[in-house]
C-alpha cells in the first residue's frame, strides 16, 4: 500500500499528470491528423454553427 502514498506527494503527481496530459494531447493530434479522410470530414464541420443560422433565416 505504500505505492498509493506515492501519489499523495505533489512532487510525484505533477510529472505524472504532465506525462498523462501530453500523451492524451498527442493521441488527439494523431486522431485528427492521422487520416486524410477524417481530416477532410472534420474540416467540413468547422462552419457548422454558421450553416444553422442560415437555415433558420431561410425558413422564415
**Residue 34, CB-side half-sphere exposure with 13 Å CA sphere:** 7
Which band of pLDDT confidence, cut at 50, 70 and 90, is reported for residue 24? very high
Name the residue with higher pLDDT: 7 or 34.
Answer: 34
Q: What mean pLDDT, rounded, does the chain reach?
A: 80
Residue 26's pLDDT is what? 96
Q: Percent of the chain having pLDDT more than 70? A: 85
Domain boundaries, the chain: 2-59
Quote the pTM value: 0.56
Q: What is the pLDDT of residues 9-22, one digit of tens each?
A: 878 788 889 999 99
**Buried/exposed 25-53: b ≥16 CB within 10 Å, e otherwise:** eeeeeeeeeeeeeeeeeeeeeeeeeeeee
Amino acid at each position: 500500500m505504500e505505492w498509493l502514498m506515492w501519489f499523495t506527494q505533489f512532487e510525484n503527481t505533477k510529472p505524472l499528470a504532465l506525462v498523462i496530459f501530453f500523451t492524451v494531447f498527442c493521441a488527439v493530434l494523431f486522431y485528427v491528423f492521422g487520416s486524410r479522410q477524417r481530416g477532410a470530414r472534420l474540416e467540413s464541420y468547422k462552419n457548422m454553427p454558421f450553416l444553422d443560422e442560415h437555415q433558420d433565416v431561410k425558413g422564415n
